[in-house]
Amino acid sequence: MAHLQELEALTKALSGLGIDEKSLISILGKSDPARRTTFRQRSTHFFIEDERSFERWDDHRINLLRLEFVRFENALVLWAMHPWERDARLVHEALTQVPQSYRVILEIACTRSSEELLGARKAYHSLYDHSIEEDVAIHVTGSERKLLVALASAYRYEGPKVSEDAAKSEAKLIAKAIKNGDKKNPIDDDEVIRILTTRSKPHLKAIYKHYKEVSGKNINEDIEAADFILKETVECLCNPHAYFSKITHKKALTRVIVTRADVDLKEIKEEYNSLYGVPLTQKIDDNANGNYKDLLLALMTRD
Chain segment 34-60, per-residue pLDDT in tens = 888 988 898 888 899 999 999 999 888
Give CB contacts under 8 A, 24+ apart, made by 126-133.
126/50, 126/51, 126/52, 126/56, 127/56, 127/85, 127/88, 127/89, 127/92, 128/88, 128/92, 132/88, 132/91
Residue 56 host element (H or E): strand 55-57
What is the domain-level CATH number for residue 207? 1.10.220.10
What is the domain-level CATH number for residue 30? 1.10.220
Q: Are residues 57 and 12 in the same domain?
A: yes
Q: Which of 27, 43, 74 is the last residue of a domain?
A: 74
Q: Which of 126, 152, 178 is the last residue of a domain?
A: 152
86-136: pLDDT as tens digits: 999 999 999 998 888 899 999 999 999 999 999 999 999 999 999 999 999
CA distance 185 to 166: 23
Please state the rounded mean pLDDT for residues 1-25.
66
Q: Are residues 168 and 234 in the same domain?
A: yes
Q: Are residues 140 and 104 in the same domain?
A: yes
CA distances from 82 to 60, 62, 160, 175, 181 (A): 17, 13, 28, 40, 41
198-211: pLDDT as tens digits: 999 999 999 999 99
Q: Are residues 183 and 249 in the same domain?
A: no
Tell whether 159 is covered by a domain.
Answer: no
pLDDT of residue 19: 56
CA distance 255 to 158: 25
Q: How many domains does the chain have?
A: 4
Please list, in sequence order, all residues whose beta carbon lies within 8 angstroms of the beta carbon of residue 113, skipping any fewer than 6 positions away. 158
C-alpha dihedral sign at 28, 29, 30, 34 = positive
Highest mean pLDDT among 10-24, 88-102, 185-199: 185-199
Q: Are residues 182 and 227 in the same domain?
A: yes
Domain housing 256: 243-301
Tell whether 81 is covered by a domain.
Answer: no
Q: Are residues 120 and 183 in the same domain?
A: no
Contact 77, 65 (CB under 8 A): yes
Contact 34, 76 (CB under 8 A): no
Q: Are residues 50 and 101 in the same domain?
A: no
Tell whether 79 is covered by a domain.
Answer: no
User: pTM (2 decimals)?
Assistant: 0.82
Q: Supply the DSSP string of 3-32, one letter for each residue.
A: HHHHHHHHHHHHTTS---HHHHHHHHHT--
Tell whether 256 is covered by a domain.
Answer: yes
pLDDT of residue 168: 97
Tell whether 231 is covered by a domain.
Answer: yes
pLDDT of residue 225: 61
209-264: pLDDT as tens digits: 999 999 999 998 888 766 779 999 999 999 999 999 999 888 898 899 999 999 99
Tell whether 232 is covered by a domain.
Answer: yes
Q: Which of 108, 126, 152 is the last residue of a domain?
A: 152
Q: Are residues 210 and 252 in the same domain?
A: no
254-291: pLDDT as tens digits: 899 999 999 999 999 999 999 999 999 998 888 777 67
CA distance 194 to 258: 31
Nearest to 150 by CA among 124, 181, 182, 189: 189
